[in-house]
């Protein structure tokens, strides 16, 4: 595990060196610190914040202020990983000027190193301008959750040859506009492989097979913490929902039985989560 800070140009170097890129989402400082300590390369403050943390039905309602708030928390918890944050729906589609202002806030107030936005040719002018003024942009092609209503759901994309060809063209156009990496969501592995060999920037797959330059998952899905339906491609490395529920049950039982706290407390200092020196 490297202790050096990951920076935007490092991702292209990793592609050139054939080193896979590991990326996960986080939404708060505690989780960011754990992922960072485990050696993750990129932490994405996804607009999945809406569904995973805020209990919203899709990603459309999450606000720029909420993304800034959570991005700042993640940035405070991160020492090594590259922090990338999603531009929420309607913060980059209205005009280039608005996109610049909103992306700038995510860097200035949120402390992100880069932004991610969904789409190909329709957003090229925004990508080009952001990169021109020094804001690194990660693209996102294939399934674009911000278009859920137009798509009618979250089905796989680029299954038909014409859509697959258009996606490859979009990826090339994003690279030409200056995107430093491209997320490929829910597309056939053959299409992901084609994109990965056509572009010089790294591709980061989610549900798009093994041939991308890196992989991303929603951390709550892969840790078994989010109890909603999990996509079939997700490997669950833990079942934290069960751990949290069992620990909470044990605590509830102890409190009700008078077993916690013990009558003669052995706890001599306040919880570190309250901060050093905090009075209980
Ligand atoms: O919002 C998100 O979590 C994402 C990932 C699924 C790539 O965009």
Binding site membership of 141 for ligand 1 (Cβ less than 6 Å)? no
Ligand 1 pocket test, pick from 118, 185, 205 with the greatest ligand atom count within 8 Å of Cβ, gives 185
- pLDDT for the residue numbered 31: 98
Binding site membership of 196 for ligand 1 (Cβ less than 6 Å)? no
Q: Which residue has the higher pLDDT, 233 or 272?
A: 233
User: Would you report the helix, strand and coil content of the chain in percent, each value rounded to 5?
Assistant: 45, 15, 45
Binding site membership of 25 for ligand 1 (Cβ less than 6 Å)? yes
Instruction: Report which protein residue has its CA nearest ligand 1's atom 3.
Output: 46
Instruction: Report which protein residue has its CA nearest ligand 1's atom 5.
Output: 46
With residue 245 as reference, give the H or E element that holds it: helix 240-257
Between the alpha carbon of residue 260 and those of residues 30, 205, 268, the distances in Å are: 26, 46, 15
Catalytically active residues, by annotation = 185
- pLDDT for the residue numbered 57: 95
Binding site membership of 195 for ligand 1 (Cβ less than 6 Å)? no
DSSP state, residue 88: P
3 state SS of 108: helix
Number of neighbours of residue 256 by Cβ within 10 angstroms: 9
Binding site membership of 208 for ligand 1 (Cβ less than 6 Å)? no
Atom of ligand 1 nearest to the CA of 183: 7
CA of 247 to the centre of ligand 1 (A): 29
| C-beta separation of 22 from 96 below 8 A | no
Between the alpha carbon of residue 41 and those of residues 55, 82, 105, 117, 243, the distances in Å are: 27, 6, 23, 19, 27
CA of 148 to the centre of ligand 1 (A): 13
Look at residue 280 and tell me whether its pLDDT is greater than 50: no
Summarize pLDDT for 125-153 with one digit per residue, the tens. Answer: 999 999 999 999 999 999 999 999 999 99
- pLDDT for the residue numbered 277: 39
Ligand 1 pocket test, pick from 114, 218, 231 with the greatest ligand atom count within 8 Å of Cβ, gives 218
Atom of ligand 1 nearest to the CA of 48: 1
- pLDDT for the residue numbered 63: 98
- pLDDT for the residue numbered 222: 97
- What's the predicted TM-score (pTM) here? 0.94
CA of 118 to the centre of ligand 1 (A): 10
- pLDDT for the residue numbered 227: 78
Number of neighbours of residue 16 by Cβ within 10 angstroms: 11
- pLDDT for the residue numbered 147: 97
pLDDT band at 264 (very low <50, low <70, confident <90, very high): confident
Instruction: Report which protein residue has its CA nearest ligand 1's atom 4.
Output: 46
Atom of ligand 1 nearest to the CA of 59: 1
Look at residue 201 and tell me whether its pLDDT is greater than 80: yes
């Amino acid at each position: 595990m490297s202790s050096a800070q990951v920076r935007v140009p490092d991702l292209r170097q990793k592609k050139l060196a054939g080193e896979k890129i590991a990326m996960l989402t986080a939404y708060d400082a505690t989780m960011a610190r754990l992922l960072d300590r485990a050696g993750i390369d990129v932490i994405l403050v996804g607009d999945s914040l809406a569904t995973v943390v805020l209990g919203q039905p899709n990603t459309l309602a999450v606000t720029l202020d909420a993304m800034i708030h959570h991005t700042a928390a993640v940035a405070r918890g991160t020492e090594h990983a590259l922090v990338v944050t999603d531009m929420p729906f309607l913060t980059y589609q209205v005009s280039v000027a608005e996109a610049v202002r909103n992306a700038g806030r995510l860097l200035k107030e949120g402390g992100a190193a880069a932004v991610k936005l969904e789409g190909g040719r329709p957003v090229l002018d925004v990508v080009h301008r952001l990169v021109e003024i020094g804001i690194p942009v990660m693209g996102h092609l294939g399934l674009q959750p911000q278009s859920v209503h137009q798509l009618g759901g979250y089905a796989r994309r680029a299954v038909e040859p014409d859509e697959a060809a258009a996606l490859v063209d979009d990826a090339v156009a994003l690279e030409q506009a200056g995107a430093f990496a491209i997320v490929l969501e829910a597309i056939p592995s053959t299409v992901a492989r084609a994109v990965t060999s056509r572009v010089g920037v790294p591709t980061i797959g989610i549900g798009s097979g093994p041939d991308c330059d890196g992989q991303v998952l929603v951390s709550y899905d892969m840790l078994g913490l989010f109890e909603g339906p999990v996509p079939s491609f997700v490997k669950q490395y833990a079942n934290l929902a069960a751990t949290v529920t069992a620990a909470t049950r044990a605590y509830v039982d102890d409190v009700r039985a008078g077993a916690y706290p013990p009558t003669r407390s052995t706890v001599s200092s306040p919880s570190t989560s309250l901060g050093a020196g905090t009075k209980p």
